[in-house]
Chain A
Amino acid sequence: MPTQVGMGFSQSIDVSAAVYEAMTQTRQQTRKYKIDFVLIFHTNHYHPEEFLPVIRENFKEAKLIGCSAAGIISSNFVGTRGLALLAVSSDDTVFSMGFINNLTNQNAYQSGSLLGRDAIHNFGQHQRKAFVYFGSDLTENNTVLMEGLRGAFGSFFPVMGASVNDYFQTGKSYQYCNDYVLTNGLVGFLLGGRLSLGVGNRHGFKPLGRPRAIDHTHGNTIYLIDGQPAVKIYDDYFGDEARSLRTTARSSISVLYPLGIYFEGEKEYLLRNVLVAQNDGSLLCQGEIPSGSETHLMISNKDACIAATTEAALEAKKQLGDKSPLMILVIASFMRFTFLGREAFKEIQAIKEIFGARIPIMGMYAFGEIFPSQVFTETSVVHLQNGSITIMAIG
């Protein structure tokens, strides 16, 4: 049986109507095939307790995974309200799920390890291709968590994912795996079998001004840059305008001008959006910062961002080789959505231009994209990215 992919999306205010609409669209595309895997992304306008039982009832035998997101990406829509459903029926692709509840900084390594082992447990002898996970909040502990995952999968296994919690907006996130609904957990799926994967990630920002040295960091907080309180880098460039970093969480300055951290050999700088400037002049960032690294203020424009999306799509297509893509999974930064504004959908158009207009695209806007650096190889170092777009083509 050939692999069948169905996608549904709804923005309806009424949750029942939204679920019905999304499921109907999905069913129209997958017809009567038995569904093996269902992936759901929803904004916090919908509650999993309300829609999950209905979806489970309709896709009884399918493995189901999903999470809340800041925004939804589908073939025809990007926005901050919606419920999207992806259903796969395939003999060639194998899925196995795992989940961990109550993630904390203290148990991050153990959580990563258990999550990986949980997913491997029912996977059998099939060829493993990649692991994708969604976590409540990975801005502080993702490196340790990744070490745990590497313990389960080995150091050379591709792992991707997204950090989905947004403490400054909704204050709550959901992750779910089959019948389990979590609010501070991790869910992930191991993907394998006779399939091909191609993945690309870019952001399109360039360094501006002179390089500066990050002197002192802890987790996702930068204390000193060039021996001075970290916030001074923004004060220098923006003067009074930089005040918004102190008063507003995730201010527009942080979205437009993130910090870029230089890594030898990488094609692009690693981006870090500043969540807020704290009273002591330190910068709380959306992801861990390596101490002693070189940093720049970064700048971009909409065209450069969309061009970066095209590059990421081309990279994914290149890795897919001569296999035809069946679906595209997109994990993009919510900052990117804010940055692009009315032109956010152009990213999806750019992906369609590479993979064809009829390709099913499903994705989400996250607050941290987990991607193994710029070049996806099995030896790449995993980083929690900000401001980037990850395009995963499954063929």
Chain B
Amino acid sequence: MTNIHWLELLVLIGVLLAIVIGILVFVLTRKNEQLSRSNNSLIKLTRSFHELDEQAKLIVRTDLELNKTQDELDKRMMGLETLQKISRLISTTLDEEEIFHRINQPLFIDLGFEKSLILLSETRDGSFVARVTFGFTEEEITSLINQLKKEENLLQALKEGHAFSSVITPKQRKEQILKIFRVEHFILTPILAKDGMIGLVFVGNRTDSSVVTSGDEELISILANQIGQAIENARLFEEVYRSSQMLESKVQERTKQLALALEEVQKISKTKSEFISAVSHELRTPLTSIKGYASILMSEKLGAIPGQVKERLDKINKHSDNLVKMINDLLDISRIESGKTEIYFAKHHLKSIIDNVHDLLTPQLREKNLQWTVHIDPTTPEVMVDKSLIERVFINLVSNAIKFTPPQGSISVMAKPHEDLVLIEVNDTGIGIAEEHLPKLFNEFYRVDNEINQSVKGTGLGLSLVKNIVEAHGGKIWATSEVHKGTTLHFQLPIQGIKIAKGLKDA
């Protein structure tokens, strides 16, 4: 019994052990599976972690590239903005000093270089003068100008328009420039004008953190061109200004000379007028006597006179009349020139004046069978003139027209308003006047040399008197003509007249 119990107990223990072992195997297997899964997860996690880190590397490299591009872009934009500001500033002045004053502002610093220099070749020996400096001491500038002067081949290359920068310059040349300016990165470019190099622009940075780029090269090259252009404009302006000053001074001097000459002429003219006036007065008295005695003799009150004597007396009388007319004309010219003539302005219709003249000259017109036409624009207003003087103008002009127009010809008078003037023309179909005579036509005693003038006596004072009268009215007169076709005398008068008419000088 006891053996059976022990056996059963052993079996039971064995079964229990088997169960426990089974459970343990099961649990261990599960744990092992879990561990394996965890290990796999850890491997995956580590891999992901490393992958993320690799991704981070990609991200930062891409970011770095983007930042570099952005930096370059920012620098270019900043440079361009600054360049634009500098250009605007220097292009709005024509004063060379002011150009550098404007550049010599913090703006130049905004271009982003630690050292900047603008040198101009201003001295006779061709060495440079610093006009804009930034980042250099005075001693450094003096030293580099002296060194630069010695580098003839470098200067020659610059004069030929070559620019240099630490980006592309060959090693030897680069070292040459670095030795002078003592920077690591640089741009050296000539300032060129029409006549060649007038200066240099230098910019540079000492450290590797700020290398210059090809974009900087372009920027500085544009800046140098603009400075060159601005300086050239300023110098050109200065040259023009100086020339104009010289010209002005010459004009002033000449004007002074002319004024003196005019004064002299006026003095002479006055003396002449006075002389003519005096002589005319002196001549008129004996002439009146001569004419009077001739008239008495011709009237035969003192006894009959032979036909031949009568004929001679008639000539004396006629010549005396001519002489009186000449003297009167001279006196009138003299009076008008000296401002002694009283001009009585009043409103008159030109038509009535012209009609009066026509009435007066009708016999002569008929004698030569000349056609007479008048055309006055209906809008022509009344004109403020001295009627008797203007009548004399018309009488003179129409008389001349009659004189020089062959029989069967025609004479016309036209008038029309234009702004505050009235334009008048006296036209004939006469023999005409050669062009070379026209400028002298209104001179005193000037007579055109033609057949009619050779046969008909005249004083040469008529047109001069006409001119004086017209000018005394504030108007002007001129002639146009074509030989064998006719002549037109044009004159214009102010509709409102002139307030104070003192004759030629003041008119």
* Residues of A participating in the B interface, judged by any CB pair closer than 8 Å: 11-13, 81, 168-169, 208-210, 236-239, 241, 244, 247-253, 256-257, 297, 299, 341-342
Contact = CB atoms under 8 A, between A and B. Distances in A.
14 contacts: A11-B106, A208-B59, A209-B52, A209-B53, A238-B64, A241-B64, A244-B208, A248-B209, A250-B209, A251-B209, A256-B67, A257-B60, A341-B74, A342-B74
A299 B63 contact: yes
Contacts of A252: 67-68, 71, 209
Contact of B60 (A168, A169, A237): A237
B78 A342 contact: yes
A81 B106 contact: yes
Contacts of A169: 207
Contacts of A341: 70-71, 74
B106 A249 contact: no
B269 interface: no
Q: Which residue, of B59, B64, B209, has the highest number of chain A Cβ atoms within 10 A?
A: B209
A250 B208 CA distance: 10
B56 A208 contact: yes
B61 A241 contact: yes
A152 B57 CA distance: 47
B109 interface: yes
Interface in B36-70: 49-50, 52-53, 56-57, 59-61, 63-64, 67-68, 70
A79 to B, nearest CB: 8
Contacts of B60: 208-209, 237-238, 257, 297, 299
B320 interface: no
Given A208-B59, A237-B61, A297-B56, A248 B105 contact: no
B49 A12 contact: no
B77 interface: yes
Contacts of A210: 49-50, 52-53, 56
Q: Which residue, of A13, A236, A248, A253, has the highest number of chain B Cβ atoms within 10 A?
A: A13
B209 A237 contact: no
A39 B15 CA distance: 93
A21 to B, nearest CB: 12
Interface residues of B, number: 26
A238 B61 contact: yes
B68 A13 contact: no
A237 B59 CA distance: 9
B104 interface: yes
A256 B106 contact: no
Given A12-B106, A299-B59, A342-B74, A247 B208 contact: yes
A374 B134 CA distance: 40
Contacts of A256: 63-64, 67
Contacts of B70: 341
Nearest to A339: B67
Nearest to A244: B208
Given A11-B106, A209-B53, A248 B59 contact: no
A299 to B, nearest CB: 6
B432 to A, nearest CB: 79
Nearest to A302: B70
Contacts of B50: 210
B61 A248 contact: no
Contacts of B61: 237-239, 241
A236 B49 CA distance: 15
Contacts of B109: 81
Contacts of A12: 106
Contacts of A253: 64
A248 B63 contact: no
Closest 8 CB pairs of A and B: A209-B56, A11-B106, A248-B208, A341-B74, A210-B53, A342-B74, A209-B53, A208-B56
A98 B57 CA distance: 48
A256 B60 CA distance: 9
Nearest to B61: A238
A250 B210 CA distance: 11
Interface in B202-256: 207-209
Interface string B75-100: 00110000000000000000000000
Contacts of B56: 208-210, 237, 297
A236 B52 contact: no
A213 B36 CA distance: 29
Given A81-B109, A210-B52, A256-B63, A249 B74 contact: no
Contacts of A244: 208
Given A208-B60, A256-B63, 17 more contacts: A12-B106, A81-B109, A169-B207, A208-B59, A209-B57, A209-B60, A210-B53, A237-B61, A248-B209, A249-B207, A250-B209, A251-B209, A252-B68, A297-B60, A299-B63, A341-B70, A342-B78
B104 A13 contact: yes
Given A238-B61, A247-B208, A13 B52 contact: no
B217 to A, nearest CB: 21
B52 A168 contact: no
Interface string B96-121: 00000000111001000000000000
